Amino acid sequence: MEEVDGEPKSQAPGEVGESEIVTEDAAFVRGEPPQDGDGPPKVDSEVEVLHEKVTKQIIKEGHGQKPSKYSTCFLHYRAWAESTRHKFDDTWLEQQPLEMVLGKEKKEMTGLAIGVSSMKAGEHALLHVGWELGYGKEGSFSFPNVSPMADLVYEVVLIGFDETKEGKARSDMTVEERIGAADRRKMDGNALFKEEKLEEAMQQYEMAIAYMGDDFMFQLFGKYRDMALAVKNPCHLNMAACLLKLKRYEEAIGQCSLVLGEDENNVKALFRRGKARAELGQTDAAREDFLKAGKFAPEDKSIARELRLLAEHEKAVYKKQKEIYKGIFGPRPEPKQKKNWLIIFWQLLVSLVLGLFKRKRVKAE
């Protein structure tokens, strides 16, 4: 295999080539917001009134346009009852974004939909929703469990949205339509990569992956599964390339592992996971990934270079540790000789006698 821009050249169909990914200075990538701890995050930004019962505070600005009615929106959110701080829903834990068609949302999500309709792609916001636009006077005693007349707090990230006049949800699409929609998102992401609009590109890739959710993939066999993986895997690989350069190594490992779950011998995934593991100091695991990648690309110079760098790094670490330990333990100091007090006493006595003898001699003269 030929070396291109420091990584193996082979790529899955539709994956952005290494010459097209500026992986040294990437500026943004998807990710889970900070963990909620005991409740919703504290936000100091200005409160925007969207409705008599809905307010919004922006945590992170988005970009582009806002979704219109019947847009199919993809979002992650956490939800709490405001008074009790009881968290009753979390799509990040489920690892599956919510799909919402604005104007066709469930009644209990009316307030959430109002908030989402005010957001731009990539925006991260905190919404406060009155009980009238949430689970109402009765609440919900199944799943989710929400007490009666509970005002709600949502932490929301709008991943992106599709403008569709008819508001067609993924569940209403044919297999070909879903794969086609995901492929268009992937291609849009590739184009944005070329322009180095990395924030927008990452959101396009995540939207594409949302179309290829687990519920969908489990239903596919044969050529349709191959078609879907030809869209899904390149998106994971491109996201991993950005995560590496953002120094978000754990997330990069996660993206590569998803690909390797489908294709255990994928050279790009092994290579990038190896790089992430090396950065985390997991040298044995990194070497294992590089060696396995090398079996399927024995002539690839970039893999050999990474193995050499890994060996040099280990050698440097060993040398440094050796110097540290040498400084700590050092050469054994020479033992100090113990003073013989008897000899010192006789030396003083002789000096005293000689002194007295000398004085008497002076007087005699």
**Which token pair is 309?**
């760098």
Q: How far separated are the first and last CA of the chain, in Å rounded?
A: 109
Residues 209 and 15: their CA atoms lie apart, in Å, by 13
The packing angle between helices 301-329 and 283-296, to 10°, is 160
* Amino acid occupying residue 18: E
Higher pLDDT, 365 or 300: 300
The C-alpha R_g of the chain, in whole angstroms, comes to 34
Task: List, in sequence order, every residue forming a beta bridge with 58; answer none if it has no partner.
Answer: 125
Look at residue 176 and tell me whether its pLDDT is greater than 70.
Answer: yes
Residues 356 and 1: their CA atoms lie apart, in Å, by 99
Residue whose pair of structure tokens reads 């440094």 in the numeric block:
320
Mean pLDDT of the chain: 82
**Tens-digit pLDDT profile for residues 293-352:** 999 999 899 999 999 999 888 887 777 777 776 656 555 555 555 556 677 777 777 777
Residues 221 and 211: their CA atoms lie apart, in Å, by 16
Cβ(131)–Cβ(73) below 8 Å: no
CB neighbours (10 Å) of residue 117?
20
Cβ(111)–Cβ(53) below 8 Å: yes
**Which token pair is 137?**
């006077």
Look at residue 5 and tell me whether its pLDDT is greater than 50.
Answer: no
**Tens-digit pLDDT profile for residues 222-267:** 999 999 999 999 999 988 887 887 788 998 999 999 999 999 999 9
Backbone φ, ψ for residue 196 (5° rounding)? 60, 25
List the domains of the chain with CATH numbers.
Answer: 48-162 (3.10.50.40), 170-313 (1.25.40.10)
**Tens-digit pLDDT profile for residues 82-131:** 999 999 999 988 777 898 999 989 999 999 999 999 999 989 999 999 99
